[in-house]
Amino acid sequence: FRWTFSKQKVLLEFFRNHESMYNPQHVDYRNRELRNRLLQQLKDIIGCEPSEAKSKFHSLRTYFTKELNKVRHSKLPGNGPVYSSRWELFHDMLFIQNAYQPRPNPSVQLQAERRLAKQRRHRADECRRCTDRRRIHRS
């Protein structure tokens, strides 16, 4: 099966319209019978096997979460400009971002806090050096 861009868009639209297919918190998420019926409907629409559709959605979701994590990480203090994904399906997949909340990662937050503290110390050192130079020039 060949996944064209338009077929990927149809796949994402189908999943967007059927939250039970992707959201673990949905009441019907574990309903295999419903899932199989929906995958059969998708097969009738785009002509792919249910296993291919599940696999493709999984790979798109994985890539999306990597891109989303880049955006989130770039928004932490001291990380420079905010990352903007150029992946053409990024905005089409925003519907899943609330279904998959990242686990808290204290090491990432700690690294950002350490980087910010280091920048503050560096600025304070620069200010002290400037003040010392002014004193030397005044004497």
* Long-range contacts of 108-115, Cβ-Cβ distance < 8 Å, separation of 24 or more: 108/73, 108/76, 109/76, 112/76, 112/77, 112/78, 112/79, 113/77, 115/77, 115/78, 115/79
Q: pTM for the full model?
A: 0.70
User: How far, in Å, CA of 16 to CA of 22, rounded?
Assistant: 8
What are 33's two structure tokens? 């019978």
Find the distance separating the first CA and the last CA of the chain, reported in whole Å: 81
Provide the residue-wise pLDDT of the chain in tens; the chain has 139 residues.
999 999 999 999 999 999 999 999 999 999 999 999 999 999 999 999 999 999 999 999 999 999 999 999 999 888 889 999 999 999 999 999 988 765 666 676 677 777 777 888 878 778 777 777 777 776 6
The 10 Å Cβ neighbour count of residue 30 is 10
Domain spans, the chain: 5-102, 110-139
